[in-house]
A and B are shown apart, each in its own frame.
Chain A
Amino acid sequence: MKKKKNPFIAFFSSVKLTLFVLFMLAFFSIIGTVIPQNKPAEFYIETYGNSMANIFQALDIPDMYSSWWFSALMILLSINMVVCIMERFPNAWRLITMDNLQTKLSRLEKMGQRRVFSSLSPPGETAVKLGDILKKKGWPTTEQRLDDSVLLFAQKGRWSRLGVYIFHLSILIVFVGAMVGSFWGYKAGVRIPETTSIDTVYRFGDNKAIKLDFKVLCKHFKLTYYENGAPREFRSELAIIKDGKEVAAKSIVVNDPLTYGGLTFYQSSYEPYGKMLVRISNNNTGNSKEFLIRPGEEIPWPQEGISFGIINKKSTAAPGHFDYKIWFKDKKSDPATFWMEEDSTKSFERPEAKYTITMKEFFATGLQVTKDPGVWLVYAGCISMILSLIVAFFMSHRRIWIHVRKAEKGSHILISGLSNKNRVGFADSFASLAEKIKKEF
């Protein structure tokens, strides 16, 4: 008697639903690749007209991948997977753990792979010999002695039946990881001018200020170019300051972020100010001060009684890298001029004192800040997806039974085999095993 299925279960466990949802997801995903996403409302009105823009807004098209209807499709796919796993897994588990020595002998005569041999020895002796042959071929056997016959059984790869379930579970784990990230994580941005620090970042989307429990200092930013003028590297020297102490530091570039306290700081942009950052020290007094200056300006430092400026610049062999001409004056002697390389330090002697000057172009580094506590679930799910896919596609559960029964002269041997996948490959290895047995008897 067949149990009638609950219609709810029947609907969600059908692969027709899977096919439908997969094709719907494929089809509707196209919309968001053609219509630009997450633009301001005015963009849609200008590009598509007022009435179209209204329809788009009503259907969440401008942010369709997080719309209710796209989420509904994803949820439908997830429920479909869960119900399918629950429906099918018990049977797979039964096949993995079952005692194959209880298989009905009548079934052995109907299996896809079958060979019949005969032996002159009695069943007991024959079975021992067959067991040895199979073991040598990598098929260790278990056996069951029946009244006047022996049943041998060997199997390989039974756990491979789990592959397909683990694969679908892994997809669900990735979904869970993505949800953890969207509920408990955020993405934000922040701009840090060189030599300054911040303790607040601004969330993408709503610009909400998020206060950190530490400070991020940008010590230095450097931009280098290739000879063809393309940017080569954006590099920020960052440090994490907690309770006034530097607790972490890293020189970050695109593709190599800094992680601290569950947050990751990515190099994402930079901003030039058209100003130079100059630090001057009087080596005699030990006084030192930082200045932000524009080329052409004369900057006084009254405490030390000096003033200085940048009066010229010229290209160097390194693309995008300049030498600057400095003008420097103190109380007593005539003004001095000299060239110095950008982002370098130079010391020079004046009648009154010795000075050290450091100069570079002033930038702010632009960082993306990500907090994503779900990313490890996503990665674990991804790795497990690939491994389980390999198992599901390329490994199979192969089973071999040998039934040895008493014949008029010696014994009658029936070998039967089953494989849940790759039947052609199994037929070959079954044939080679049969060949070996044939040779021995």
Chain B
Amino acid sequence: MNSSQLLGISTLGFLLASVLYIGALIFRARIAGVIASGVTLLTFIILTGGIGLRWYESYQLGFGHAPLSNMYESLVFFSWSIVIFYLILELKFKNRILGAFAVPFAFIGMAYASFAKGINQEIVPLIPALQSNWLIAHVITCFIGYAAFAVASGLGVMYLIKSSSQGNRTGLIASLPKLRIIDDIIHKTIIFGFLWLSAGIITGAIWANSAWGTYWSWDPKETWSLITWFVYAATLHARFTRGWTGKRIAWLAILGFISVIFTYFGVNFLLAGLHSYGSS
């Protein structure tokens, strides 16, 4: 058994869980939802094992490092973060329907990592710039934030679907949680994500200062993370002081996540900068 097998199984596991969650939502089949939660939890354990094993394997290769060092490893960790965040949300709010809007992100992350062109799955040693303990702190803080924002945008979509067909008391729409509840979870999720994104930007700045002697250089990756931060900061101000709720916050949750995606992928693939090692 090696780590890539475990990660492969996890990809399939999240696919199955996504299908089950969506099935449970469409057919209002409670039992499918329960199975979906079980599959998600089991897959999460397998994925955790896979990440741990990959870490161990890197030591076997003679240059051990945490599996957080390139696009492939970060995508896997992104999926891991989305799932653990979602599982806690499911436990806290006792609602499985959220799964249909969250777990597919984890599947997409894993599938993209495994099948997209130009993503190197090999375990490679760390170049000098990445040899720092800040690597772990920076990547973990950023991706917990990203995971929360992914779930918030999924919930934003859920909110918009539900609110655009208010009055429809039957079928699919009626089985979604109440608008007020979705709105509340979106808000709390964004707050959580904002805290971690702030920590991610700060750990990145401290790391940059210890490696290059500059904590902020307006490199495209840094700038995009700040743009994302501005978007969520504006969202929080709009809510706290101007009382924005509902559709507007749902749209901002989606806009914010588009900015996250661009920070994560767009910068690596479309723009040049200091973070270029993240692109393969």
Query: Which chain A residues have a beta carbon within 8 Å of chain B's beta carbons?
Result: 15-16, 18-19, 22-23, 25-26, 29-30, 32-34, 36-37, 65, 178, 187, 226, 228, 230-234, 253-257, 264, 266-268, 368-370, 372, 375, 378-379, 382, 385-386, 389-390, 393, 424
Contact = CB atoms under 8 A, between A and B. Distances in A.
A98 to B, nearest CB: 22
Given A19-B234, A268-B212, A382-B202, A232 B223 contact: no
Nearest to B125: A226
B237 A22 contact: yes
A191 to B, nearest CB: 16
A24 B226 CA distance: 12
Interface string B129-152: 101101000000000000000000
Given A267-B128, A385-B202, A424-B184, 20 more contacts: A15-B242, A23-B234, A26-B227, A26-B230, A29-B227, A33-B220, A33-B267, A187-B213, A187-B214, A226-B125, A230-B127, A231-B127, A233-B128, A255-B134, A257-B210, A264-B213, A266-B212, A370-B214, A385-B198, A389-B195
Count class of interface residues, chain B: 35 or more
A232 B230 contact: no
Contacts of B265: none
B128 A389 contact: no
B233 interface: yes
Contacts of B237: 15, 18-19, 22
A374 to B, nearest CB: 10
Given A18-B237, A22-B233, A382-B205, A254 B131 contact: yes
A-B pairs, 4 with minimum CB distance: A370-B213, A26-B230, A33-B220, A254-B128
A185 to B, nearest CB: 10
B209 interface: yes
Contacts of B238: 15, 19
Interface of B: 63, 124-125, 127-129, 131-132, 134, 184, 191, 194-195, 198-199, 202, 205-206, 209-216, 218, 220, 223-224, 226-227, 230-231, 233-234, 237-238, 241-242, 259, 267, 271-272
Contacts of A370: 213-214
Contacts of B213: 187, 257, 264, 266, 268, 368-370, 372
25 contacts: A16-B242, A22-B230, A25-B227, A26-B230, A29-B226, A33-B223, A33-B224, A65-B218, A226-B125, A228-B124, A230-B127, A233-B131, A253-B128, A254-B128, A254-B131, A255-B131, A255-B132, A257-B213, A368-B213, A378-B205, A378-B215, A379-B206, A389-B198, A393-B191, A393-B195
A72 B132 CA distance: 36
Nearest to B207: A255
A255 B230 contact: no
A36 B273 CA distance: 9
Contacts of B210: 255-257
Contacts of B184: 424
Contacts of A256: 210
B120 to A, nearest CB: 11
Contacts of A226: 63, 125
A375 B211 contact: no
Contact of B211 (A231, A255, A390): A255
Nearest to B272: A36
Nearest to A265: B213
B205 A23 contact: no
A90 to B, nearest CB: 17
Contacts of A253: 128, 131
A250 B204 CA distance: 25
Nearest to A368: B213
Contact of A30 (B132, B206, B216, B227): B227
A173 to B, nearest CB: 13
Contacts of B223: 29-30, 32-33, 65
Nearest to A233: B128
A382 B131 contact: no
Nearest to B233: A22
A386 B234 contact: no
A295 B211 CA distance: 35
A420 to B, nearest CB: 11
Given A29-B227, A34-B271, A266-B213, A386 B218 contact: no
A268 B208 CA distance: 12
Given A15-B241, A29-B227, A378-B215, A386 B205 contact: no
Given A15-B242, A232-B125, A255-B211, A382 B234 contact: no
